[in-house]
Amino acid sequence: MSIIFKTHLDDFVYRIGRMSAKPRAPARGQAGTKVALGTMFTKWWKTFNYNWAFASIMHVNEPICLYQGYMILWAGDESDRGMGKIVFRWLPSPETRFEMVGTKHSINHVRAYLEHHEVEIELPGGYSQKASATLSSNTSIDLAGKESPKYHGVLTRYYDKVKTPKCDTVEFFLINFRLAQSLKNEEWTIDIELLTQNLKSTFEALECERGYAVTHKGILRRVNGLPFTLDQANDILYALYQFYSFIQGEWSGPILCKGMLDKEITWERWGNPNLAPFKSQTGIARSVQFDQSKAFDGFMRMWADIEWKETFILVVYLYVEANTMSMVEGAIILLQSALERLAWGIANSRNKDVTKLHANERINWLLREMGLPTDLPPSLTGLWRYSDMYSSNIQYPDAAKKEGKKLGAYILTYLRNGIIHPDEKLKRITSATVDAKWDAERLGLWYVATILLRLMDYTEEYMSPITWQTERVLLK
């Protein structure tokens, strides 16, 4: 369908709704009963427009029309109504916006209300959303030559559009994924479909324009095919958000979800989680050899444990923020915090007491417990030079000193303490070269990523944060 034809069709549906609108104000919650012919066209258009929109969203930063039709704007007890649309826009940051052409000609009260309050946007069926709104300075002229106000704004509070809180399928979309594989564990299966016909061209456009591109569609079902509740859907969708953010190394996950039961839509979600715009991705899943389904299976086993679930949420947050942060010193601080939280989680699950250990000792214990090498990797030459500079100050264990070992946990915490406590230790950080600090970040990312993969019982290949080459997770 051409853009020109779609524009004329939009205008036609709008005018049909305007012609069938009644002059009296509707009661709250009765938006679906106020237009006859307009509602009929709106219902048809909604289904048509939804399918059309997602057939044409392969363009970078392309807005997505979620709804087009009749709506009511409530400003306190006052209201205006008309035809409008709700659109998901990517730039400057992802948000859901609305536009509406009203029917009132005396709107002074509404204008004053908009300056200080949120409004409520009501759609057919009584579904409503809170929004901040402004009144456009220009107006719309209908077929009779009358001027009508134009409203636009941002949905500020998202509520699921729920017909019934039950479904047997959830469809969602993924953004900026080079590689997305179907996932499966004992309870859930997620089929992933590539939407764009030329993924290479999509990412070439992202390299130039940055921002966002919808690249894949996901279909979530239970393995046994049985229905599940909205609460159960929320839990698995949040787990997917955490999982995808971890393996991508940036905030990413299911968006614009809709639940269906027997192929009928039962609920929709127009809000979006925190999403990162495109950049040169540095996630562990960049390798084609990374088995996402195997990692997901292990992730969900840990997710089922409430204590590990809370730990994973916090550690993934610290890891992703560190990986996407432009300030390397802040990343080092976050990564040490993530490692200390992991040490607490491992110690608690294995009935070990590490409360009396210092941070460097605790992290070193964690590495040994998880079977990771404690020695500083030889490829981190910048950090090696830094450790040589302060070899007499870094308090290694006696055994390590005798063997001349350089322990990564001790060097990392020594540098981190110089950032947090800069008084007498200021030279620790000021004398650190850029290479040394970047090496410290890469070391911390490697520690956290490898430990999380070990906890998932994942021993296959992944993209190493140290070498940015495909490696196999070391066996314990």
- Confidence grade of residue 33 (pLDDT, cut at 50, 70, 90): very low
pLDDT in tens, 326-337: 899 999 999 999
- Confidence grade of residue 307 (pLDDT, cut at 50, 70, 90): confident
The percent of residues in the chain predicted with pLDDT above 70, rounded, is: 80
The percent of residues in the chain predicted with pLDDT above 90, rounded, is: 46
The three-state secondary structure class of 347 is helix
Neighbours of 114 (CB within 10 A): 19
- Confidence grade of residue 429 (pLDDT, cut at 50, 70, 90): low
More reliable by pLDDT, 395 or 374: 374
Q: What is the model's pTM?
A: 0.84
Q: Could you give the dihedral angle defined by the CA atoms of residues 236, 238, 242 and 244, in that order, rounded to the nearest 10 degrees?
A: 70
Distances (CA, A) of 19 to 15, 35, 70, 200: 6, 9, 12, 47
pLDDT at 424: 58
pLDDT in tens, 82-96: 999 999 999 888 988
pLDDT at 237: 96
Quick one: tokens of 125?
């069926």
CA 386 – CA 408 distance, rounded (Å)? 12
Q: What is the mean pLDDT of residues 240-250?
A: 95
Q: What is the mean pLDDT of residues 312-330?
A: 94
**256: phi > 0 → left, psi -120 to 50 → alpha, else beta; which?**
left
Q: Is residue 17 within 8 Å of 46, Cβ to Cβ? A: no
Q: Which of 215, 244, 225, 210 is nearest to 57 (CA)?
A: 215
6: pLDDT strictly greater than 50:
no
Distances (CA, A) of 272 to 93, 200, 254, 269, 420: 11, 26, 8, 8, 34
- Confidence grade of residue 255 (pLDDT, cut at 50, 70, 90): very high
DSSP 8-state class, residue 472: E
Q: Where are the beta strands (DSSP E) in 164-212?
A: 166-167, 169-175, 183-184, 188-194
Q: What is the mean pLDDT of residues 101-117?
A: 71
Long-range contact pairs involving 110-118 (C-beta distance under 8 Å, separation at least 24): 110/73, 110/75, 110/78, 110/80, 110/135, 110/149, 111/135, 113/75, 113/76, 113/78, 114/75, 117/75, 117/76, 118/156, 118/157
pLDDT at 110: 67
Instruction: Tally the C-alpha atoms within 13 A of residue 231's C-alpha that lie toward its C-beta.
Output: 0
